[in-house]
Amino acid sequence: MQQFEIKRLIPMELFGYDVSFTNASLFMVLALAVIPLFYLIAMNRRALVPGRLQSTAELSYEFIANMVRDIVGEKGMKYFPWIFTIFMFILVLNLLGLLPYSFTVTSHIIVTFALAAMVWLIITAIGFMNHGVGFLKLFVPDGVPFWLLPIIVVIEVISYLIRPISHSVRLFANMMAGHAMLKVFAGFVVGLGLLGGWAPLVFLVGFTGLELVVAFLQAFIFTVLTCIYLNDAVNMHHH
Amino acid sequence: MDPQAAKFIGAGLACFALIGAGVGIGNIFGNYLSGALRNPSAAPGQFTNLLIGFALCEATGLFGLLIALMILFA
Amino acid sequence: MIAALSALAVVVAAAAHEEKAGGLPQLNPADFSPQLAWLAVTFVLLYLVLSRVTLPRIGEVLEERRDRVQRDLDAAERFKSDTDAALAAYEKALSDARLKASSMAKEVRDRLAADTESERARTESELTAKLTEAEQRISATKSKALASVDEIAAETASAVVGKLLGEDVSPAEVKKVMQPAAE
């Protein structure tokens, strides 16, 4: 579990709060540097017929843009930069965390919870801004018998309030479980020695590939769920 | 009972949650596959839904794993 | 298998032992505030950079490409319609020319036919005229010949009578005598 340990690299304090530059901060700053740098290099030539890097950059753009357009519709396109930022931030932090000796920022519940809470707060604000008090109708589904309504409304409210928790725990648990698993099997390699250590090593290589998929998938899922919640707020779908 | 032993047993029990996740994920992918074989042209359109279902299902199992880890290490 | 299980037990126990002091690192409240602070700073900065610089740039390139493709498609469409128009004009000219040629041929044929017809009619009428003239001449000659037959007959008869009877009988008398017989 020491891979999840926070180490204070440069102790700092602001207004009595501890804001030290930790290894987590280091990787966040790294992501902040890597993402714009990648796009700067990839889009440098602005070629009409894109090369490999530029294709990748454009593919990521189109991927998220299509996702927003499919789920939320044209009205959601003004939130596209925000959703794109969420996706790239989580994706790059997940992938950076897969490098040996690196630190996985998204394996910390406080980080994922902060992201999910931000999503939840902003989307709730968007819902109230677009529909006013009418946004509360989200908790009253159509076509429910009136004697069921009290129960349904309570359930809907709870499921709405619990969204940031499930949203954040999913990402956090996936990243943490994956890394803990890698650690356990790496322990097997050492524990079984030269004779028996090869089997877990092979498994470890395969599992690292799976973790790459999971790193992408969880960033994707986080973004898709954000889009679905945003759709509720923008279009007031009655479900 | 030794509290340490109870802790390990509890963590093991919490991991039972992963049984349900395994069944659920198998269900999702199996049904997706059988549906995709019946109507291959409609399959790509449902890929996003497949991944959402997979993630929602996996998360429930991971909640259990999380409890296990918390019991062990917290 | 047993080795693997015991190794797992060892690792987990060691990890548990190691963490005895601090517990799960993720749940240490002392670490929350630096992470939150840096998360807020980096996320907001990343959002600003992406939304102000990076995304508009990619969007611009994509937009430009879409415009370019649309323009090219439009141009191709225009060329195609031009080609179609030219083709239609050519077809029309061709059919016009064909029509004109056939009408001209008909005209020539008609004129030739008319010429031939008139020529034929003229020749025919000429021939008819010649024929009738010839017929008239023949009939005239015939009637003249017939007229002279009487005279010759009378002369011959008078000569025969003179020789036979020894007396002179004028042809006029013979004629007078023969008249009733002739009638």
DSSP string, B28-68: HHHHHHHHHHH-GGGTGGGHHHHHHHHHHHHHHHHHHHHHH
Which residue, among A170, A212, C24, A217, has the nearest Cα to B62 in the 3D structure? A170
B74 contacts in chain A (CB < 8 Å):
none
Do the beta carbons of residue A68 and residue A77 sit within 8 Å? Answer: yes
Per-position b or e across C125-136, b if 16+ CB within 10 A of its CB? eeeeeeeeeeee
Residue of A nearest to B64 (CA): A173
* Number of cross-chain residue pairs from A and B with Cβ atoms under 8 Å apart: 42
Segment holding A14, helix H or strand E: strand A13-14
Q: What is the CATH number of the domain that holds B42?
A: 1.20.20.10
> Testing the interface with A: which of B66, B67, B73 to mutate, by most A Cβ within 10 A?
B66
CA angle C44, C50, C52 (to 5 degrees): 95
What is the distance between the alpha carbons of residues A21 and A33, in angstroms, rounded to a whole number?
16
Side chain identity at residue A23, one-letter code: N
Torsion of CA B35, B39, B45, B47, to 10 degrees: 30
Do the beta carbons of residue A2 and residue C18 sit within 8 Å? Answer: yes
The 8-class DSSP code of residue A162 comes to T
Nearest chain B CA: its distance from A46 CA (Å): 31
Residue of A nearest to C30 (CA): A18
Q: Closest to A173 (Cβ–Cβ): which among B48, B52, B62?
A: B62
C12 contacts in chain B (CB < 8 Å):
72
CA angle C30, C33, C35 (to 5 degrees): 105
Residue of B nearest to A63 (CA): B48
Range in A112-121, A218-227, B18-27, C165-174 with the lowest mean pLDDT: C165-174
Which residues have a Cβ under 8 Å from the Cβ of A60 and sit 6 or more positions away?
Answer: A88
The answer to whether residue C182 scores a pLDDT higher than 60 is no
Nearest chain A CA: its distance from C21 CA (Å): 12
First to last CA, chain B: 20
Q: Closest to B74 (Cβ–Cβ): which among C12, C15, C24?
A: C24
| Distances from the Cα of C118 to the Cα of A239, C40, C112, C114, C129, angstroms | 99, 113, 10, 6, 16
Domain count, chain A: 1
CB contact under 8 A, C39 and A29: no
Report helix angle B47-73 to A163-196, nearest 10. Answer: 70
What is the distance between the alpha carbons of residues A10 and A128, in angstroms, rounded to a whole number?
41
Q: Tell me, what's the pLDDT at A7? A: 73
B66 contacts in chain A (CB < 8 Å):
169, 172-173, 176-177
Residue written as token pair 């019991």: B71
What is the distance between the alpha carbons of residues A138 and C99, in angstroms, rounded to a whole number?
76
Q: Tell me, what's the pLDDT at C3? A: 42
Domain count, chain B: 1
Q: Closest to A81 (Cβ–Cβ): which among C25, C33, C50?
A: C50
Sign of CA dihedral A210, A212, A217, A219: positive
| Distances from the Cα of B58 to the Cα of A61, A113, B52, angstroms | 27, 18, 10
Torsion of CA C73, C74, C80, C85, to 10 degrees: 170
Which residue, among C24, C16, C20, B40, has the nearest Cα to A4 in the 3D structure? C24
Nearest chain B CA: its distance from C36 CA (Å): 21
From the number of C-beta atoms within 10 Å of its C-beta (0-12, 13-18, 19+), residue A104 rates as: buried
Q: Closest to A170 (Cβ–Cβ): which among B48, B51, B59?
A: B59
Q: Closest to C46 (Cβ–Cβ): which among A14, A35, A200?
A: A35
Do the beta carbons of residue A76 and residue A66 sit within 8 Å? Answer: no
B74 contacts in chain C (CB < 8 Å):
23-24, 27
Q: Which domain holds residue A82?
A: 2-235
In chain A, which stretches have pLDDT less than 50?
A: 239
Query: In the complex, which subunits touch B with 3 or more CB pairs below 8 angstroms?
Result: A, C
What is the distance between the alpha carbons of residues C150 and C152, in angstroms, rounded to a whole number?
5
Q: What are the tokens at B1?
A: 């009972």
Q: Tell me, what's the pLDDT at C8? A: 46
| Distances from the Cα of A154 to the Cα of A139, A146, A151, C42, C125, angstroms | 8, 13, 5, 37, 123
Q: Tell me, what's the pLDDT at A205? A: 87
Q: What are the tokens at A49?
A: 């017929």
Average pLDDT for residues C27-53, to the nearest whole number?
82
Interchain contact A191–C (C-beta under 8 A): yes
Nearest chain B CA: its distance from A214 CA (Å): 10
Average pLDDT for residues C20-26, to the nearest whole number?
61
Which residue, among B62, B20, C42, has the nearest Cα to A109 in the 3D structure? B62
Q: Closest to A221 (Cβ–Cβ): which among B55, B65, B66?
A: B55
What is the distance between the alpha carbons of residues A153 and A161, in angstroms, rounded to a whole number?
12
Sign of CA dihedral C136, C139, C145, C149: negative
Q: Which domain holds residue B34?
A: 3-73
The answer to whether residue C168 scores a pLDDT higher than 70 is yes
Please report which confidence band the pLDDT of residue C181 belongs to, taking 50, 70 and 90 as the band edges: low
Q: What is the pLDDT of residues C95-151, one digit of tens each?
A: 999 999 999 999 999 999 999 999 999 999 999 999 999 999 999 998 888 888 877
| Distances from the Cα of C3 to the Cα of A93, A191, B8, C10, C16, angstroms | 35, 9, 20, 10, 20
What is the distance between the alpha carbons of residues A66 and A82, in angstroms, rounded to a whole number?
14
Per-position b or e across A36-48, b if 16+ CB within 10 A of its CB? bebbeebbeeeee
Interchain contact B72–A (C-beta under 8 A): no
Interchain contact C34–B (C-beta under 8 A): no
